[in-house]
Amino acid sequence: MKVQITNGMFMALIINMLYAKSIGLTQGVMAREVGGDMWISTIISSVQGIVIMAVVILAIKRLPNGDMIDQYEKILGKWMSKGIAFLVFLFFLGAYGSIMATFVYHLKDYFLPESNIILFIVAAFLIGTYAIHFGLEVIARMALIGVFSVMALNILLLAGSISEFDIKELQPTFSSGFFSTVWASRHHDTDWAIATMMACMILPLVRDNATWIRSSTAGLIFSGVIIVMWPILEVGVLSPEVAAQYIVSCMQMARSAEIGLFLHRYEMIMIAFFALSILTQIMMTFLCSSIAVQKIIGLKDYRPVIIPVGIVLSAFSYWMVGSHHRAMGIIENEWVLVSLSLAIGLPGMLFVLGAIFKKKLKKDQEPKSV
């Protein structure tokens, strides 16, 4: 079966892959590091993400019918490409852990404190394995709905908190120092890394490669705008000191918002609109991990490995999110090093090798089979 998604669907996937964790855990991490400059770090990271995505697209366009692993196979051979596929799998394994930390801590810490963590792990496993069985197009269509959900959430939050906003809290800028503010952007870079690595795996399935850069840039700019609103409001409404005290600072922000006399503390509304974004992240991580394992084993289809891959991802996430201290320690330290090394190193090396061995990469405009 030949499957392709539109550029609009690709944009929607980028937005959803960035949104949930960026507003969920990342802002609290940056608040603890640079305080009121967290919104500046978010903007700096967004610019960096656009540059890396452009490098990815320029590299993949040399062989638009093959993903990053396929291109490494063309250049370096079969066995080296299997090593690259293993690194890609490790990346999405770590990404799934950070995504599940966002998923579990939103629901368990604020709504279902007595529930066992295994409940959330099994729910994510069932949703992820079921969804990716039907392929990328189904997930992409859901992501389109997710874009409208996150827009509605942002509008609600803005309407409910603008009256309490104090612009003086944003001043002075770079109070923690210019280099410290830039360095703190690495935490949000890990969110952009997930979207970038996803693009490395699915770009050949996006129609009209001539517009890849335009659609991805539009998606990234839109993502940056709707995400940066959160740290600005958190600094101006909660204050950076309060935001820094919470693992999931966006939930405290939702608790502070109110519209009129009757709509107060709409955390449940937030979760309803937030759900499609986090579920898209779960499903796409399952999909990309399964494709990577498919390439390692040498299968023609990823569906036979969905269950084994899902079990590995679920086991790792269960171990990781079982302790808040362990999960946040990994997200703030080891995950930053691993994700940025792979998300920058693999596409960057492909870009350089593709320029050197350009003759080996033959153009093939037929859509890729999924």
Which pLDDT score, from 0 to 100, does residue 365 have? Answer: 45
How deeply is 169 buried, as exposed, middle or buried, from its count of CB atoms within 10 A (0-12, 13-18, 19+)? middle
Which pLDDT score, from 0 to 100, does residue 1 have? Answer: 40
How deeply is 172 buried, as exposed, middle or buried, from its count of CB atoms within 10 A (0-12, 13-18, 19+)? exposed
| Measured distance CA(54)–CA(338) in Å, rounded | 21
Separation of CA 112 from chain center: 25
Q: Is the pLDDT of residue 172 over 90?
A: no
Q: Is the pLDDT of residue 362 over 70?
A: no
CATH 1.20.1740.10 fits 11-354, yes or no: yes
Which pLDDT score, from 0 to 100, does residue 263 have? Answer: 59
Listing DSSP states for 200-228 in one string gives: HHHGGGBS-GGGHHHHHHHHHHHHHHHHH
| Measured distance CA(89)–CA(17) in Å, rounded | 17
Which pLDDT score, from 0 to 100, does residue 208 have? Answer: 78
> With the CA atoms of 240, 242, 246 and 248 taken in that order, what torsion angle do they form, in degrees rounded to the nearest 10?
-60
pLDDT tens-digit readout, 7-52: 889 999 999 999 989 888 999 899 999 988 999 999 999 999 888 8
Instruction: Identify whether the C-beta of residue 254 lies closer than 8 Å to the C-beta of residue 267.
Output: yes
User: 105 is written with which tokens?
Assistant: 């801590």
Number of helical H runs and strand E runs in the chain: 15, 2
User: 159 is written with which tokens?
Assistant: 């309407």
Q: Is the pLDDT of residue 265 over 90?
A: no
Please compute the mean of the pLDDT values over residues 217-240 and round it to a whole number: 87
Which pLDDT score, from 0 to 100, does residue 364 have? Answer: 47
